Amino acid sequence: MLYHFPPGLLACVSRAYARPYDDPINARAGEPVDIDPDRSAQTDLFGWVWCRAPDGREGWTPEAWLQGAGNRRTLQRDFDAIELTVAVGDRVLPLFSESGFIWCRTDDGRQGWLPDAFITLMATEA
């Protein structure tokens, strides 16, 4: 379920995380994607399916953001599967979350997904 964090809320990275791949799926709302049912079955992450975009890039995609039935679906909103590489103690600004992952922005402006178990919410910015 998509959740938007209150503006200015900060988080601290509590466990280091390394991005698993560098050029994952990145597609716009309205574009078709193809679900790979075999690869999708290989995860214990509830709410995520493995998809291929028209340009051939692949990655985990929130199933709740897909419309339609079968293995060919349409994205309901823009989606980028890029994940962040972060170190313990890094500060991030959590923007929204979906099914166990949080889209964050780092102090240096990078944006991407982090598993929610790897960050600790703090206070809002002054």
The domain boundary residue, chosen from 64, 80, 96:
80
* CATH number for the domain harbouring residue 95: 2.30.30.40
pLDDT at residue 118, rounded to an integer:
97
pLDDT at residue 91, rounded to an integer:
95
- Nearest one of 112, 105, 77 to 91, comparing CA atoms: 105
Q: Are residues 57 and 39 in the same domain?
A: yes
Q: Are residues 69 and 32 in the same domain?
A: yes
Q: Are residues 38 and 63 in the same domain?
A: yes
Tell me: the pLDDT tens digits for 74-107? Answer: 999 999 999 999 999 999 999 999 999 999 999 9
User: What is the torsion angle, in degrees rounded to the nearest 10, for the CA atoms of residue 99, residue 53, residue 36 and residue 19?
Assistant: -50
Q: Are residues 15 and 47 in the same domain?
A: no
pLDDT at residue 125, rounded to an integer:
57
What's the domain count of the chain? Answer: 2
Structural domain of 62: 26-80
- pTM of structure: 0.91
